[in-house]
Amino acid sequence: MPRTRYAPDRGLTTRMVTTMFFIGLLYVVFVGVLLALLRGAWPLILLIAGGLFVAQFWFSDRIAAFSMGAREVTPEQAPELHGAVDRLCALADMPKPKVAIADTDVPNAFATGRNQRNAMVCATTGLLRRLEPEELEGVLAHELSHVAHRDVAVMTIASFLGVLAGMLTRVALWGGLTSRNSRDSNTAIAVLIIPLVSAVVYVISFLLTRLLSRYRELSADRAGALLTGRPSALAAALTKVTGQMARIPTRDLRHAEPFNAFYFAPALSGQSLSSLLASHPPLERRLDQLARVAAQLGQEGRG
């Protein structure tokens, strides 16, 4: 992958490697448990597990974009949005991703893609309608940071394990219960153990992705602010987007909520969440960090 002018973040890199290591270990353990309990269904388990993992890696960006209603647009259809992305990519010295718009009043943005050449950055119509040009550039710089740092790909793969656990459980149980060895005592044990193991796998993968998600948002805020040199614009966008969430219909927020880990700001109507379960750090923490970046840039300017 080509380097960009986004500030590197060793803390983010360390967390991504650690998360992928534990996710991979969890994946191997989970499949191993299924193979041990349901020997008769092992070909089907390996086929489904391998096929889904490969499909998730290659098509995850398209799946995510489709799920969130992203529609790719041309420069003629969205000149302001394309212009902002063009300026930021030139500033960051990175390839221009696909540009998309999601037709929803929820003011948000997200990025997908397994690498810079297959990336897509998307803004919602609600975001485009509410933000000033410099605020929009701040949000887009944040999202492009996810692409440059590759954490969007790590998040997509990591979040897939919980879904895979449920799918493999259904396949394994169906294969085990309908096999010739269905009367074997192992099947009865599997019926009890597999749901428990699946629940543990889901909880662990959920917590791992949440921990990474919160740090990567802080990293993207900092990198985006340093790239544009305007942390105040990003802070204004954060404050405006978060404040507007309370005015969005509940049904729209519920539709967007499953994708909170990918969004610029969580689709919440003001309700509090445990810090352990939250996909994003608190607004106050993000604003405090941006204030420190502004102070740092001010000192460098005076120097």
Condensed to tens digits (0 to 9), the pLDDT of residues 9-56 reads 999 999 999 988 888 787 777 777 767 766 666 677 677 667 767 776
Among the listed residues 143, 257, 284, 300, the single catalytic one is 143
Is residue 126 predicted with pLDDT exceeding 90?
yes
E-assigned strand segments in 97-230: 98-102, 109-112, 120-124
Q: Domain segments of the chain: what residues? A: 10-301
**DSSP state, 263?**
B
**DSSP state, 110?**
E
Q: Any catalytic annotation for residue 134?
A: no
The answer to whether 267 touches 108, Cβ cutoff 8 Å, is yes
Decide: residue 239, CB within 10 A, 0-12 exposed, 13-18 middle, 19+ buried. middle
Is residue 273 predicted with pLDDT exceeding 60?
no
Question: Can you say whether the dihedral through the CA atoms of 276, 278, 279, 285 is positive or negative?
Answer: negative
Q: β-pairing, 120-124 with 98-102?
A: parallel
Is residue 276 predicted with pLDDT exceeding 60?
no
Average pLDDT on 253-259 reads 79
What are 151-194's pLDDT values in tens digits?
Answer: 988 887 776 666 666 565 655 555 554 554 545 565 566 666 76
The mean of the pLDDT values for the chain is: 82
Please tell me whether 280 is known to bind a ligand. no
Q: Can you give the pTM of this predicted structure? A: 0.83
Please tell me whether 146 is known to bind a ligand. yes
Average pLDDT on 248-256 reads 82
Average pLDDT on 76-82 reads 97
Please tell me whether 217 is known to bind a ligand. yes
